[in-house]
Amino acid sequence: MTRVTAGSVVFEQVTKRFAGFDAIPNLSLTVEPGTLVTLLGPSGCGKTTTLRLLAGLEHPTSGRILIGGKDVTQLPANERDVAMVFQSYALFPHMSALDNILYGLQASGMNKREAQDRAREGLKLVGLETQGNRLPSELSGGQQQRIAVARALVLEPQVLLLDEPLSNLDERLRRRVRTDIRDLQQRLGFTAVYVTHDQEEALAVSDKIIVMKEGDIAQQGAPESLYHAPNSVFIADFMGEANILPCEVEQLEGSDAWVRLGSQRYRVRGNGVQPGTAQLSVRPQFITLREEGAGALRGEVTHCTWLGDHIEYEVATELGSLFIVDAHMEQQLPLNSAVAIDFKPQGLALIAG
């Protein structure tokens, strides 16, 4: 039986400098045992470097890395008790699925009999027990990905590392495989560090998301907290589309704040913002438009795009242009029409000015 020894991960003031370029200026982070933590951020922000530092494929310029409480900073990759799933899968094309899984086990010195048992279990774990004799080219992209995950898991690592594991799959399959990976991780309870640049993917699979920007942590927390309580315009924008509007914080009430937006007052999470001028992130799905009547704001439709299951609008207002997504589609508002605009409080997030 494949056993799981879920280890923790700690980075203590880790830096990584490449030929005069600070890829990681100063990074401290913690991954709790048995959780899936995502490193999320735009291309070039240091996600792969962080994962390679953890895997021992790169070594820090300074700082310490601990896995399962043990300092591994000086240890080579093969002594770290982690396994990596690569973006390209890196399966051996001339070996069957089973032999691909077997390879790493035998390379680690396990006897043939035990390795074969373990490899078969690995196939079963990912639901491919009947496909063991196939070559990678005879498997779908999603199945190849599952073989790559099985090959890593049978090594019983303390931490599983996944670098953009879905990027070679088409859109539909991506959703399937990300659910599979998350199910497997929750069922077996292993620790995983998952790298992606796709915020939806991060929201879907993570216990905690660490958003990186230029090698630093821009914000970290549970998916909901990043979406609803972004600490900056960068995070609000990165975690889904957002309109950023100037607003006035009139009053604090407990951990909430009263803000004025147009003619209306809204009670929103305070997010530590003080009374005075601030910014409000407004999610496009939480704005409603009507042709008639009074709203928080008035505006004029400047663009309208019908996209089958939703309509996207751009509306000019006194607070600037608003991007609005209408998924209900009870009516399509014509270009240049005057509209009344309202905001649903659950789509508003306060950010310091």
Which partner in Mg ion, ligand ADP, none is near 202 (CB below 5 to 8 A by kind)? none
Q: Does 281 bind Mg ion (CB under 5 A)?
A: no
Please report how close the Cβ of residue 24 comes to ligand ADP at its closest, in angstroms. 8
Q: Does 48 bind ligand ADP (CB under 6 A)?
A: yes
Residues 264-323 contacting ligand ADP, CB under 6 A: none
Which partner in ligand ADP, Mg ion, none is near 18 (CB below 5 to 8 A by kind)? ligand ADP
User: What does DSSP assign to residue 35?
Assistant: -
- In this structure, the number of other CB atoms found within 10 A of the CB of residue 274 comes to 12
Q: Does 330 bind ligand ADP (CB under 6 A)?
A: no
Q: Does 146 bind ligand ADP (CB under 6 A)?
A: no
Edge-to-edge strand ranges of the sheet holding 311-317: 287-290, 338-343, 297-306, 311-317, 320-326
Question: How far apart are alpha carbons 6 and 29 in whole angstroms?
Answer: 17
Please report how close the Cβ of residue 18 comes to ligand ADP at its closest, in angstroms. 3
Do 274 and 286 contact (CB within 8 A), yes or no? no
Question: How far apart are alpha carbons 235 and 351 in whole angstroms?
Answer: 10
Q: Does 44 bind ligand ADP (CB under 6 A)?
A: yes
Question: How far apart are alpha carbons 155 and 277 in whole angstroms?
Answer: 54
The H or E element containing residue 317 is: strand 311-317
Please report how close the Cβ of residue 212 comes to ligand ADP at its closest, in angstroms. 7
Considering beta carbons, is residue 195 or 261 the nearer one to ligand ADP? 195
Q: Does 18 bind ligand ADP (CB under 6 A)?
A: yes
Please report how close the Cβ of residue 198 comes to ligand ADP at its closest, in angstroms. 12
Q: Which residues contact 107 (CB under 8 A, 6 or more apart)?
A: none
Residues 29-88 contacting Mg ion, CB under 5 A: 48
How many residues touch ligand ADP under the rule CB under 6 A: the total is 12
Please report how close the Cβ of residue 210 comes to ligand ADP at its closest, in angstroms. 12
CA 145, distance to chain mean position in Å, is 18
Scanning 28-36, 41-49, 226-234, 295-303 for contacts with ligand ADP by CB under 6 A, the matching segment is: 41-49
Residue showing tokens 């373990």:
118
Q: Does 45 bind ligand ADP (CB under 6 A)?
A: yes
Considering beta carbons, is residue 168 or 186 the nearer one to ligand ADP? 168
Residue from 53, 56, 48 nearest 15 by CA = 53
Please report how close the Cβ of residue 177 comes to ligand ADP at its closest, in angstroms. 20
Please report how close the Cβ of residue 121 comes to ligand ADP at its closest, in angstroms. 32
Residue from 159, 153, 183, 165 nearest 37 by CA = 159
Residue showing tokens 């608003």:
322
Considering beta carbons, is residue 41 or 157 the nearer one to ligand ADP? 41
Please report how close the Cβ of residue 47 comes to Mg ion at its closest, in angstroms. 5
Out of 7, 8, 36, 46, the only residue in the binding site for ligand ADP (CB under 6 A) is 46
Question: How far apart are alpha carbons 47 and 320 in whole angstroms?
Answer: 35
Beta bridge partners of 159: 82, 191
SS3 content of the chain, % helix, strand, coil (to 5): 25, 35, 35
Binding site residues, ligand ADP, CB under 6 A: 18-19, 21, 23, 41, 43-49
Binding site residues, Mg ion, CB under 5 A: 48
